[in-house]
Amino acid sequence: MVLYRRNRVAGGTYFFTVTLRDRSSDVLVRHVGLLRSAFRRARTERPFTIDAIVILPDHLHAIWTLPDGDVDYSGRWRAIKSHFTRDLRLSGMPLTPDNRGEYRLWQRRFWEHTIRDDTDFQRHVDYIHWNPVKHGLTQCVADWPYSSFHKYVCHGLLSAEWATAVNEDQSAYGELA
């Protein structure tokens, strides 16, 4: 097994990909209210800023900024996953624990990237907002309801027509290096 060392920058800004174990599941959008509640509780317990987010059926992407001096994004993800899993069980969703006592809802790990500068931040925000189109869930970014795109439009940071121009080079919103 490869030893993966996470980068930790106190008060840093990070891009994350967090995935369900069952990549054919739609539980994140089917129970988006419970997921939002899990985020709210985790942020109440240990604050952080959500700079951008998109929730897809089986995974989500987010950019967070942690408070000054804080590096514990792993603990926050653990709390979000735990709150969401607990709430799903309480709602009656049948989840059974494995031999370690863990519910097999989430992949055990997550992918993290430390945002390096404003250009890197913008590329990742664009990637997040374009992701529902990339996965064929919608043909227009504005049509996906589970995205911070709408907040960006509301605050005047993006136009409602962002990434809809016929001749626009939409490959710019593809895979990140």
- Which sequence positions are flagged as catalytic? 146
Contact in structure between 163 and 134 (CB atoms under 8 Å)? no
